[in-house]
C-alpha cells in the first residue's frame, strides 16, 4: 500500500552529507524530504576547514555563485598555506593545492557553510522539515521510513530509500548497526572547539600543533578573518580516557604557551566553546548499507584519523550514495544486496587513505619523537605533509 507521506528518499540530517545528497537527487527530479532537528542557520562544532576539492564538488552542482557570494560577505576565509609544528618546535610550511578547476580552500564556519548547502538543497527542489528523528521504521526487516518528533508530536515519514546523515551520534546508525559493529574507542576522537576574536593576523594560513599532550592528535588555529580564528584541539578517545584528560584545561594550557600567548590581543577571549566526538573511517568491517537505507558522512564514520577532516569525505560519500540510490529507484529494488555496492565504492575511494592515516596516528602515539624527525627533516612532498594537505 502506498503511504500518503511516502517520498523517493528521506534524508535524516541536513549537514554537508545530507544536503549534498538532497541537492544531487532533487536536481535529478526525485521527491526528496530533508529532515533536521534544527532550523538553519545553526552552529555545528567543527574545525571549519573546507578543502578545494569540496568547493569544486559544490561548483559541479551549480553552487559556485553561492560560494563566491559567501566569500564576498566574509563568511568564508581563504586559506593558502599550512603550518605543521612538532613537539620540540620544529615546523614546516606548505602551500595548499588549488582544485583542478582552480578552487581555493577556505575556513568556513559551519553556521554559514551548512546554511548555504541546506538552502541550495531546498532551491534544488528538496522539501525541508524541522524534525528530530527517533528511529527507523522497519517492516519485515527492511527500513521503510523514519519516525520523528515534529512540533511535539510523533510523525512517520516513509521512503523508498532512507539516508542516515545525522552525524556522529546518528540515531539511524545506532539502530541499524549491530552493537558489536559500532566504532571502538581507538577509532574515535574527542575534541574541543572555540572561537577567538582577538588574535594577531594569520594571513591565510592554517596551523597544526602536534605536541606531546595531544598526540596522536593536535591543536589548531584556523583563521576565520583578519583577527579571528577557530581554535581547538583533539585527541584519540581511548587515549583521552586512559589519561583522564580535561579538554578545557588542555585548551587553556595551549593558549598559555609562550609562542601562542604573545599573539593574543586583549587576553584572547574565547566564545562558543564546545566539545564533540568523531568516528574515524579506519575501523574495518563497518557497514554503511542496509535493507532500504544507507549511511553517509559522519553518521557512517568517514573522518580522517590523522587530520580529523570530514567535510570532503562527507560530500564524497553523499555523491557515491546518490549513484547507488538512483539505480535502486530505477529498478524498484532497494534491498541491501543492491545498496551494498555503496560500501564497495566507499572502500575503493577512501580505505587506502584511512589506513595510511591510521598508521601515522599509531606511530605518533607510540613514538612521539617521530613527529619531530618527520617535521624537522620533512619537505612539502613528504607523506606526512601530503596527508595534511590532501585530507584537510
Quick: pLDDT tens for 64-87.
999 999 999 999 999 999 999 999
pLDDT, tens digit (0-9, with 9 covering 90-100), for 301-315: 999 999 999 999 999
How far apart CA 51 and CA 99 sit, in angstroms, is: 9
Residues with Cβ within 8 Å of residue 246, at least 6 apart in sequence? none
Residue 4 has what pLDDT? 60
**Which of 150, 149, 146, 152 shows the shortest CA–CA distance to 174?**
146
Helix orientation angle between 341-366 and 383-390, rounded to the nearest 10 degrees: 130
pLDDT, tens digit (0-9, with 9 covering 90-100), for 123-135: 999 999 999 999 9
- Where exactly are the structural domains of the chain? 6-79+107-183+281-363, 186-279+365-390
- For residue 266, what pLDDT band results from cuts at 50, 70 and 90? confident
Residue 179 has what pLDDT? 85
| CATH of segment(s) 186-279+365-390 | 3.30.9.10
Q: What percent of the chain stands above pLDDT 90? A: 86
Residue 67 has what pLDDT? 99
To the nearest 10°, the Cα dihedral for 376, 232, 21, 164? 110
Q: How far is CA 20 from CA 54, 60, 122, 266, 327, in A?
A: 10, 11, 11, 40, 18
C-alpha cell at 311: 567535510
Residue 1 has what pLDDT? 36
Q: How far is CA 14 from CA 40, 42, 167, 264, in A?
A: 9, 11, 10, 35
Residue 381 has what pLDDT? 62
**Which of 368, 16, 103 shows the shortest CA–CA distance to 213?**
368
**CATH superfamily to which 6-79+107-183+281-363 belongs:** FAD/NAD(P)-binding domain (3.50.50.60)
Q: What percent of the chain stands above pLDDT 70? A: 98
| 125 φ/ψ sector (left φ>0, alpha ψ -120 to 50, else beta) | left
Assess whether pLDDT exceeds 90 at residue 296: yes
Amino acid at each position: 500500500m502506498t503511504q500518503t507521506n511516502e517520498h523517493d528518499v528521506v534524508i535524516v540530517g541536513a549537514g554537508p552529507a545530507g544536503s549534498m545528497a538532497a541537492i544531487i537527487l532533487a536536481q535529478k527530479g526525485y521527491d526528496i524530504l530533508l529532515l533536521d532537528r534544527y532550523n538553519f542557520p545553526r552552529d555545528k562544532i567543527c574545525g571549519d576547514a573546507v578543502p578545494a576539492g569540496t568547493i569544486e564538488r559544490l561548483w559541479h552542482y551549480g553552487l559556485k555563485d553561492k560560494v563566491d557570494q559567501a566569500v564576498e560577505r566574509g563568511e568564508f576565509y581563504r586559506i593558502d598555506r599550512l603550518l605543521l609544528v612538532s613537539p620540540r618546535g620544529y615546523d614546516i610550511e606548505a602551500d595548499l593545492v588549488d582544485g583542478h578547476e582552480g578552487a581555493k580552500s577556505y575556513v568556513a564556519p559551519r553556521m554559514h557553510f551548512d546554511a548555504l548547502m541546506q538552502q541550495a538543497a531546498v532551491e534544488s527542489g528538496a522539501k525541508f522539515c524541522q524534525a528530530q528523528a527517533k528511529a527507523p521504521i522497519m517492516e519485515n526487516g527492511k527500513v521503510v521510513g523514519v519516525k520523528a518528533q515534529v512540533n511535539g508530536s510523533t510523525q512517520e515519514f516513509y521512503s523508498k530509500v532512507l539516508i542516515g546523515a545525522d552525524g556522529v551520534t546518528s540515531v539511524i546508525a545506532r539502530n541499524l548497526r549491530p552493537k558489536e559493529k559500532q566504532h571502538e574507542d581507538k577509532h574515535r576522537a574527542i575534541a574541543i572547539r572555540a572561537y577567538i576574536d582577538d588574535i594577531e593576523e594569520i594571513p591565510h594560513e592554517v596551523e597544526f600543533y602536534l605536541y606531546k599532550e595531544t598526540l596522536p592528535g593536535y591543536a589548531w588555529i584556523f583563521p576565520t578573518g583578519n583577527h579571528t580564528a577557530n581554535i581547538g584541539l583533539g585527541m584519540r578517545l581511548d587515549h583521552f580516557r586512559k589519561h583522564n584528560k580535561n579538554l578545557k584545561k588542555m585548551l587553556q594550557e595551549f593558549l598559555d604557551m609562550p609562542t601562542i600567548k604573545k599573539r593574543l590581543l586583549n587576553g584572547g577571549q574565547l566564545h562558543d566553546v564546545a566539545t564533540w566526538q568523531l568516528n574515524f573511517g579506519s575501523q574495518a568491517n563497518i557497514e554503511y548499507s542496509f535493507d532500504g537505507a544507507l549511511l553517509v558522512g559522519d553518521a557512517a564514520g568517514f573522518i580522517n584519523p590523522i587530520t580529523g577532516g570530514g567535510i570532503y569525505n562527507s560530500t564524497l560519500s553523499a555523491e557515491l550514495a546518490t549513484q547507488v540510490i538512483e539505480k535502486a529507484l530505477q529498478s524498484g529494488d532497494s534491498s541491501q544486496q543492491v545498496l551494498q555496492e555503496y560500501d564497495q565504492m566507499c572502500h575503493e575511494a577512501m580505505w587506502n587513505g584511512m589506513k595510511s592515516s591510521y598508521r601515522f596516528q599509531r606511530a605518533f602515539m607510540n613514538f612521539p619523537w617521530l613527529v619531530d624527525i618527520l617535521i624537522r627533516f620533512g619537505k612539502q612532498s613528504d607523506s606526512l605533509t601530503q596527508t595534511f594537505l590532501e585530507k584537510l
